[in-house]
Structure 1
Amino acid sequence: MFVVNGRYLTQKATGVHRYAFEICNKLHEMAVDFHVAVPNEIHPDYKFNFKVVKCGSLNTHLWEQISLPRYLKRIGSPLLISFTGCGPLNYSNQIMTIHDVSHERYPEWFSKNYYRFYHYMMPRIGKKAHAVLTVSEFSKKEIVDTLGINSEKIHVVHSNVPFHNKPSKEEILSFKRNPEAERYILAVSSMDPRKNFIRLVEAFDKIKDKSVKLYIIGMSFKAFNTPDLQKLIGENVHLPGYIPDEKLQTMYQNALLSVYPSLYEGFGLPPLESMTYGCPVINSDIPALREVSQDAALYVDPYNVEDITQKIEQLLVDEPLRKELQEKGLLQIKKYSWDKSAKQVYELAQIFM
């Protein structure tokens, strides 16, 4: 038996939270003996069948550092797995997850409190833990280089698309957009400085076809030094904030293309989401996105506004290229599986149980 750190269930579901949630769902389907320890409040976003145990009266990091280890020691100090955050500092029988080390590479993108907390905690817990999970070979190398954690204890367990009602390949390839429908480009992510949306809007404003709109979908978080994107809103640029999965899936399917101009990633989930719904992808030419998307995307220099503009215009008019990227994307997403990721986690957990 092992326990999963369930602090993620108190927070709105974004990429790292979905990683934790989907792996827990698959572990439950596999009939693995585990439960999720949680604080008192669970966010209404989550609907699940796996077992949860509420423990302690604290919340946020205090729950993770005080209530959680107390509970674990009370039930015999079982193996703990944290799929997000860090895990408790004063608990040695654990596996932690580090999705990326962007706070170390670019501390200016984060609030001072966020940077100080993770700069202190992450290497200390990582060196003490039995093993560290991460989501790409690029992130594994970054963890070794920045945190000094032994590469032999770092295990790559990929993320994947969290949507479950995926269209078939035949449905995607035969899908026809309504010619009267709104023509738009999609960009999906949290409103984080590294997502590079200011340059994206600057590049979008330079395209010749003024009938095309840009939708930037995502939320802001206190952890980030979020740029003021509201001033970029114009007649053709829209920031609707968070939208439910069902609507997002429809937007992917009807978009002309999606753009992910991020400056730094550990994995990069939105390009795979886009591919799942047959939406051609433009990616930043950075190591993690090259690793995850391979030849199923068109790549740009994320610091070069003119290059972003040129690639958007190229993909807008080049129907054969859009079709080629669509088909390559459908092949690329087959390489990722929550079943495979959950199995990797369970096999690793068995070593330390």
Structure 2
Amino acid sequence: MIKLLIDAHVFDGKYQGTRTYIQGIYSAMITHKDIEFYFAAQNVSRLKSIFGIAENIHYIRLDATNSIWRLAWEYPRIIKKYKIDYAHFQYICPFIKCCKEIVTIHDLLFLDFPKYFPLSYRIKNRPLFMYSAKRADLLLTVSEYSRKEIKRHFKITEDRIYVTSNCVSIVNDKVGLTDVKAKYGLDRYILTVSRIEPRKNHQMLLKAFLELQLYKLGYKLVIVGAMDLKNKIFNTLYKSMTDEEKESVLIFQASYLDLVALYKQAALFVFPSFAEGFGIPPIEAVAYSCPTLCSNQTAMAEFDFFHECFFSPYDIQELKNKIMYFIQNDVTPICEALQKEIVARYNWKNVGEQLCQLIKDDKK
């Protein structure tokens, strides 16, 4: 029996892609009865609602709210107490090694695109990420793009870095979804989903929406995401808008079930990000049959099936042309073909089996 500890503290804070990754990969893995899973977080009730109750699933309530205290003291103590064989961390492992470690470095965007990240973040995390990556017994990442960047920045050979991709989780059709059009006062709308920060490039989408005057055609722009890093260009543009324009732009956070309903009912989804380690929202949107336009940069360039749905996040005219084409034409055949490709390629069950096999091979 393998004892596997999962650092799940991301379930205690704001929603992040790392939460989607842990939830997806371990929801698929927990059926393996020859592994005991130890999920650790402060909000144990939330973890139980996600991963359920089973003989091979255990929950550990974290005491530390400070990341340094958690890594320096609490996790080493937990590992020794429960005699953990493997522990899985995102980005940074504990300062003392007490068992075999699995580390997922999702991206190194702060090194590739430093202007989008605070100096303090870059100074602190480069040595911590490098130390964790080099020390890991199993080093994982989520895309070929990130794999190459880890190799380049940290001088780690590619054969030591395994790609365990992000995937999509499809909500059962029998689950009752909210009428989001009634809830949020929507009719026709263009949707984007991500934290609001400069590299996500909301400013380009907002500018395109305003220049096309889509609000005069009855469309609204819906931005689902929390304000994260200050985006001066976006904020300045938003403040300069007329009252009529502001009424057509909605910014809010939504539950996952509401998000699914928003995907299903949107006229168009647009993902204009400059840089991603993977980019879950565009493939998630397509999985829910939403017409989608996606940036063609960094890890998103690996979504080679997007073809005409790609655009450059540096070319606003191209984006405007594609928005108008997609809302004026029936793109159902494009959406159906993309949906089949994505559901087949990005499957959590397959990735869960991949990680399970990596652990068992390493243990031999």
TM bracket, shorter-chain basis = 0.7 to 0.9
The SS at the match of 2:162 is strand
Q: 1:193-342, aligned counterparts within 5 Å? A: 193-209=198-214, 210=216, 211-221=218-228, 224-227=229-232, 229-231=234-236, 232=238, 234-235=245-246, 237-292=248-303, 294-295=305-306, 298-319=309-330, 322-333=331-342, 334-342=344-352
Q: How far is 1:41 from its partner?
A: 4.0
**TM-score, reference length from structure 2:** 0.84
Q: How far is 1:5 from its partner?
A: 1.6
Letter in 1 for 2:118: S
Letter in 2 for 1:339: K
**Cα deviation per residue 1:206-250 (whole Å; 9 max; x = unaligned)?**
1154222111111123xx344464551633542432101121111
- The 1:295/1:228 distance shift into structure 2, 3 A limit, reads closer
Structure 2: distance between partners of 1:220 and 1:73: 39
Structure 2: distance between partners of 1:151 and 1:252: 36
Letter in 1 for 2:94: P
Letter in 2 for 1:20: I
**Cα deviation per residue 1:255-291 (whole Å; 9 max; x = unaligned)?**
1111001101111111111111111111112142131
1:134 aligns with 2:141: yes
Q: How far is 1:54 from its partner?
A: 2.7
Unaligned runs of 5+ in 1: 168-176
Letter in 1 for 2:350: K
Report how many residues are paired.
339
> Is the CA contact (8 Å cut-off) linking 1:36 and 1:52 kept in structure 2?
yes
**TM-score, reference length from structure 1:** 0.87
The SS at the match of 1:103 is helix
Q: 1:72-151, aligned counterparts within 5 Å? A: 72-76=79-83, 78-82=85-89, 84-91=90-97, 93-151=100-158
Looking at secondary structure, tell me which structure has more helix per residue.
2
Query: After alignment, is 134-143 or 29-38 more displaced?
Result: 29-38
In the alignment, what sits opposite 2:33? 31
- The 1:194/1:5 distance shift into structure 2, 3 A limit, reads same
Structure 2: distance between partners of 1:227 and 1:249: 30
> Is the CA contact (8 Å cut-off) linking 2:271 and 2:294 kept in structure 1?
yes
Q: How far is 1:60 from its partner?
A: 2.9
The SS at the match of 2:148 is helix
Q: How far is 1:127 from its partner?
A: 0.7
Q: How far is 1:80 from its partner?
A: 1.1
Structure 2: distance between partners of 1:329 and 1:45: 32
Structure 1: distance between partners of 2:96 and 2:120: 20
- The 1:342/1:227 distance shift into structure 2, 3 A limit, reads farther
> Is the CA contact (8 Å cut-off) linking 1:271 and 1:293 kept in structure 2?
no
Structure 1: distance between partners of 2:230 and 2:68: 20
Let me know the Cα RMSD of the aligned residues. 2.7
Structure 1: distance between partners of 2:107 and 2:196: 17
Letter in 2 for 1:125: S
Structure 1: distance between partners of 2:199 and 2:340: 28
- The 1:37/1:276 distance shift into structure 2, 3 A limit, reads closer
- The 1:260/1:96 distance shift into structure 2, 3 A limit, reads same
In the alignment, what sits opposite 1:19? 21
In the alignment, what sits opposite 2:193? 188
1:60 aligns with 2:67: yes
Q: How far is 1:43 from its partner?
A: 7.7
Unaligned runs of 5+ in 2: 175-180
- The 1:11/1:85 distance shift into structure 2, 3 A limit, reads farther
Structure 2: distance between partners of 1:288 and 1:29: 30
The SS at the match of 1:4 is strand
Q: How far is 1:202 from its partner?
A: 0.9
The SS at the match of 1:144 is helix
Query: After alignment, is 37-46 or 104-113 more displaced?
Result: 37-46
Structure 2: distance between partners of 1:93 and 1:116: 27
Structure 2: distance between partners of 1:63 and 1:251: 37
Letter in 1 for 2:91: G
> Is the CA contact (8 Å cut-off) linking 2:5 and 2:40 kept in structure 1?
no
The SS at the match of 2:303 is helix
Structure 2: distance between partners of 1:90 and 1:166: 46
Structure 1: distance between partners of 2:36 and 2:120: 33
**Cα deviation per residue 1:312-341 (whole Å; 9 max; x = unaligned)?**
11211121xx11321122112221111111
Q: How far is 1:25 from its partner?
A: 1.8
Structure 1: distance between partners of 2:36 and 2:230: 37
In the alignment, what sits opposite 1:343? 353
> Is the CA contact (8 Å cut-off) linking 1:110 and 1:225 kept in structure 2?
no
